């Protein structure tokens, strides 16, 4: 029997075969630059590249006081305190290195300029003992710089200079301020000097009770002179901290 043809369908006995007519679907074009995520479907961003974290800086201990090579290398590498230790070696000389005060001064000055309180104190000491005499007032400038950098000894040394009027104007009030600053930090020598000022009423209002408390504190912090001043007869010695 002849199949019955109607449009796109062919009818035969027992079987119906459907054949799609018309043009084949066109391939999808790639998404344009203006396409949105709804047009393109959900697209996950590419994962960020994994970068290794930088290794922490290697701990480097200060050089030993007799390690000429280690201190020299450390100073050359910019470790300021190694420069100070190297300067001490050149200042005292001995078996390790030949005495070289100008080199020591150069090292102390460079370290002080770089923020080393110890470098400033070492340089100030050279002015104090007369090794350096080009500018005596530099002694107090250096001690105050060390004090401002947090060195208690710098504050005490500067305070004594103002108290004695050595190379600077006499200023017991400012000396008391410096002693108070570091006594509160627990410096025994500063407490002793401040106690003396309260005992005499020099730079501060006279206050014997305050003076005794400061002498006692100096004693408790381990300064024998504070104990003797607090109790000259030695009958009662305050417990030390």
Q: What digits encode the pLDDT tens for the residues 107-155? A: 999 999 999 999 999 999 999 999 999 999 999 999 999 999 999 999 9
Question: Within 10 A of 56 (CB to CB), how many other CB atoms are there?
Answer: 6
Q: Are residues 165 and 179 in the same domain?
A: no
* Residue 206, in any domain of the structure: yes
Please say if the pLDDT value at position 33 is more than 80.
no
116 neighbors 80 (Cβ within 8 angstroms): yes
pLDDT at 148: 94
Any domain includes 201: yes
Do 190 and 159 form a contact (C-beta atoms < 8 A)? yes
When the pLDDT of each residue in the chain is averaged and rounded to a whole number, the result is 83
Q: Is residue 22 part of a domain?
A: no
Q: Do 230 and 132 have their domain in common?
A: no
Half-sphere exposure of 220 (CA within 13 A, CB side): 12
Domain with 152 in it: 62-170
- Separation of alpha carbons 36 and 33, rounded Å: 9
Same domain, 71 and 160: yes
Q: Over the stretch 215-225, which tens digit does the pLDDT of each residue have?
A: 999 999 999 99
- pLDDT in the model for residue 37: 46
56 — pLDDT class (breaks 50, 70, 90): low
Is there a domain that residue 23 lies in?
A: no
Residues 185 and 159 in one domain: no
Q: What is the DSSP letter of 166?
A: S
Evaluate if residue 9 carries a pLDDT over 70. no
Residue 86 lies in a domain: yes
Angle at the Cα of 200 (from 199 to 204), degrees rounded to 5?
90
CATH number for the domain spanning 91: value is 1.25.40.10
The β-bridge partners of 18 are 9
Structural domain ending residue among the three candidates 123, 149, 170:
170
Does 35 fall in a domain?
Answer: no
Q: Are 131 and 165 part of one and the same domain? A: yes
Please state the domain count of the chain.
Answer: 2
User: Cα(158)–Cα(147) distance, rounded to whole angstroms?
Assistant: 8
Concatenated DSSP letters of 177-202: HHHHHHHTTT-HHHHHHHHHHHHHTS
Domain boundary among 170, 199, 226: 170
Q: Is residue 11 part of a domain?
A: no
What is the C-alpha to C-alpha distance for residues 237 and 192, in angstroms, rounded to an integer? 15
Whether pLDDT at 69 is above 60:
yes
For residues 85 and 122, give the distance between their C-alpha atoms in angstroms, rounded to a whole number: 10
Is 98 found in the same domain as 186? no
Residues 80 and 121 in one domain: yes
Q: Are residues 160 and 82 both part of a single domain?
A: yes
For residue 211, being part of any structural domain is answered with yes
Q: How far is CA 239 from the centre of its chain?
A: 35
Looking at the structure, do residues 121 and 159 belong to the same domain, yes or no? Answer: yes
Residues 146 and 217 in one domain: no
Same-domain status, 104 and 155:
yes
Q: Examine the domain organization and report whether 157 and 77 are in the same domain.
A: yes
Closest CA to 172 of 183, 159, 185: 159
What tokens were used for 37?
A: 């995520």
């Amino acid at each position: 029997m002849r199949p019955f043809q109607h449009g796109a369908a062919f009818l035969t006995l027992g079987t119906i075969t459907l054949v799609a007519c018309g043009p084949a679907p066109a391939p999808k074009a790639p998404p344009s630059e203006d396409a949105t995520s709804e047009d393109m479907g959900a697209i996950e961003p590419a994962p960020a590249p994994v970068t290794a974290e930088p290794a922490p800086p290697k701990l480097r201990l200060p050089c030993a006081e007799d390690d000429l090579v280690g201190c020299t290398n450390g100073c050359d590498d910019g470790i300021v305190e190694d420069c100070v230790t190297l300067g001490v070696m050149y200042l005292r000389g001995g078996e390790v290195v030949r005495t070289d005060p100008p080199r020591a001064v150069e090292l102390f000055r460079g370290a002080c300029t770089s923020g080393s309180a110890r470098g400033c104190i070492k340089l100030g000491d050279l002015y104090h003992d007369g090794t350096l005499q080009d500018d005596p007032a530099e002694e107090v400038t250096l001690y105050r710089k060390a004090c401002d950098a947090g060195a208690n000894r710098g504050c005490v040394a500067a305070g004594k200079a103002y108290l004695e009027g050595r190379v600077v104007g006499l200023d017991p009030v400012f000396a008391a301020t410096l002693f108070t600053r570091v006594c509160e930090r627990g410096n025994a020598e500063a407490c002793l000097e401040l106690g003396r000022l309260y005992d005499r009423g020099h730079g501060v209002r006279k206050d014997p009770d305050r003076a005794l408390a400061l002498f006692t504190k100096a004693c408790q912090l381990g300064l024998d002179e504070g104990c003797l001043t607090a109790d000259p007869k030695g009958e009662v010695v305050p417990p030390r901290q």
